[in-house]
Amino acid sequence: MRRKENLMGRKIIQKEASLINRTSLRVRFSEVDSMRIVWHGEYIRYFEDGRESFGRQYSGLGYMEMHEAGYFVPMVHVEVDFKSPLKVGDIVIVETRFINSEAAKICFQYILYRESDMQVVATGESVQVFLNSSFELELLSPSFYQEWKRRWKIE
């Protein structure tokens, strides 16, 4: 049931995603486990690759830029749905979609494709919040984030 709602929710959200980045990576030997498929925890790194690549395309949301603006953006939620296994040497396309939110949060969705057949191998999402330099939670979106949204035409 919940899974279905999730998929439904995803469909609606995907229509709304206005900023999308795609980057690719190659599966490393050290990332596969004894089943000869990528160990599930490695996908968290793949998502991070996606976020960093997103931050380079839509400048102002990179880790270093946010840090210089005086904020940390720790993860508060991450989830992954694994659809099809990845093997050594596979090229993975990481599609990272910015999901706008009224709240003081950074939300991303991820869709991972195997390049050879463009099959979806995994999907996922993440939510980050803002801490100021005293490590206190910001309940309102910091001004740098609001400006970033304006620059990239997200209302």
106: β partners: 128
CB of 57 to its own copies, least distance (A): 14
Binding mask 25-44 for its own copies (x = CB under 8 A): -x-xxx-xxxxxx-xxx--x
109 CB neighbour count, 10 Å cutoff: 20
**Inter-CA distances, 7 with 4, 42, 87, Å:** 5, 23, 26
> Which region, judged by CB under 8 A, interacts with its own copies, from 11-19, 75-83, 109-117, 141-149?
75-83
Quick check: 64 binds its own copies (CB under 8 A)?
A: yes
Q: Which of 7, 8, 45, 115 binds its own copies (CB under 8 A)?
A: 45
Site for its own copies in 98-137 (CB under 8 A): none
Question: 79, 76, 52, 49: which is closest to 66 by C-alpha?
Answer: 52
